[in-house]
A and B are shown apart, each in its own frame.
Chain A
């Protein structure tokens, strides 16, 4: 029976008629669609000229097409080297002008400039804007925004209790109004705009909608009504972090792709950040994206543990895996202001290719005025917040847990123990600085040894340090190599749970009492406290020696 009648041709009498005269050899030579330029062209032509629905093109191909005996061979993927016969078969199949003598060297073949191939290639690339896909490294230098947007947060909140999320939204709102760069600012949310206190932006700048607003919103009579418009600025993506992050990436790479720098701020639940869109974040980093990611309701104890969305004790660890992502876990509104100000300066004025990940919380507390000269430390990763005359211990912390360190200082003072408090805005940046200084020293053994920033800060490196954050211990552990004294790290290893902030912090042992306990124990081990003093402190703090381990319960 001829091949025609054994195969799919036979299913349709009309088709069978077309192929009835073909030999087996002819049929073998019939090209698969994916290898036939005419068919591929026709498919694309049809796709480009159809409308109303997306088009899927299924291209049938043969694995190892054109390489002789390896064609349609199941093991093609394991082949590391082609035999000379296979290469020759490939040459013959595609009429590549290389002689038998030369082919062993596998030379490059370049069609002459005036050949149709070369002319076609050149013309097509010309239509696409240039010889190769390129990445614009530099773009328009933007003017730094009005200083006041940031400096007004330097004086603290004056008894008002606000959250760092509110502080960040205030900065974004003011930036949107900035005469110079206001038009470049794009706030993006996947959802939760109201949770973050961004509803005022609905009316002020509007939500972008390609169709405008074709309905009367139910809150049209409210001051913060849900305004969608074609001129809207804000992007409200619906509950899709992948979509929101992709929009962020498009804006964050606009400086390179369109020579038009944009400053996107993507605000999301920090728990639904990197662990949900890490592939896209990695791609954004690789594309040298610039912009701000704001991970709100961050930390594992920030919002009464309502469930999955408030268990972020690791987003700073995930963000640290992307080389050009600078991440910060600030506590006070002036820290946020300094970080965003510096970010705009670095990314859009100095044209450095970073993007920023900043975590914010929804816990309301008073924000003090910025200590004099703190800017540099805030940007580098830490600064001294509360000094002491003769400190015997240093309490360092970040995010909302810095406030617990501040309270722990008061507890310790009751026992005559003097402590310093340091705000660590970024353990990730301290780690990067440490790695760089270590390798500089190793590469230049004959030069004067450089100090890491941590060593510079802790000039008296014999004072023990207690670190506390709302993140897994691994986050603060990163700077252990640069601390020469005893270093104790507290953190939120383990699953979160539903309870009050105070209970959660006690559970994870990052509350003021636990920090004071860790400090007392360290001082006891260092012979600064005697046994009876330690016992007194433990008794007062009601330390439970049988308390279950948070990451195993």
Chain B
């Protein structure tokens, strides 16, 4: 069984809007929870945003150059149930 999961930009800490400087995946690519989906850049740091689930990239909702903030959807991933379960056990941490 698989489900499509839409991922939203997680809590980035002390920043508001940040720029997408790199998209690291393509549609159809399989990813593991620690793989980076995209790289955001603030005044001070580049942040790689992890998939946080195992699965296959279905849709990429952002482009390089976009300004994004916490809560915005950025990717749809088709998750594989077993891996998903396992991930939940791992607590909902990034």
Contact = CB atoms under 8 A, between A and B. Distances in A.
- Do chains A and B interact in one complex? yes
Interface of A: 160, 162-163, 166, 169-170, 173, 194-195, 197-200, 203-204, 219-225, 362, 364
The secondary structure that dominates the B interface is: loop
A223 B46 contact: no
Contacts, number: 57
Shortest beta-carbon contacts, A-B, top 3: A197-B45, A223-B10, A197-B44
Contact of B48 (A163, A195, A204, A364): A204
A223 B44 contact: no
B46 A197 contact: yes
Given A203-B94, A222-B11, A222-B12, A169 B46 contact: yes
Given A160-B21, A203-B94, A223 B45 contact: no
Given A221-B11, A223-B47, 15 more contacts: A163-B44, A166-B45, A169-B45, A173-B46, A197-B42, A198-B45, A199-B47, A200-B46, A203-B50, A220-B93, A221-B93, A222-B13, A222-B94, A223-B94, A362-B44
A86 B34 CA distance: 73
A195 B45 CA distance: 9
A517 B30 CA distance: 60
Interface residues of B, number: 19
A525 B49 CA distance: 58
B19 interface: yes
Interface in B69-84: none
A177 B85 CA distance: 27
Contacts of B13: 199, 219, 222-224
Nearest to B11: A222
Contacts of B12: 222-224
Contacts of B45: 166, 169, 194, 197-200
A362 B45 CA distance: 10
Given A160-B19, A203-B94, A223 B41 contact: no
A362 B42 CA distance: 12
Contacts of B21: 160
B93 to A, nearest CB: 6
A223 B19 contact: no
B55 to A, nearest CB: 18
Contacts of B46: 166, 169-170, 173, 197, 200
Nearest to A198: B45
B56 to A, nearest CB: 21
**Which of B21, B43, B45, B49 neighbours the largest number of chain A CB atoms within 10 Å of its CB?**
B45
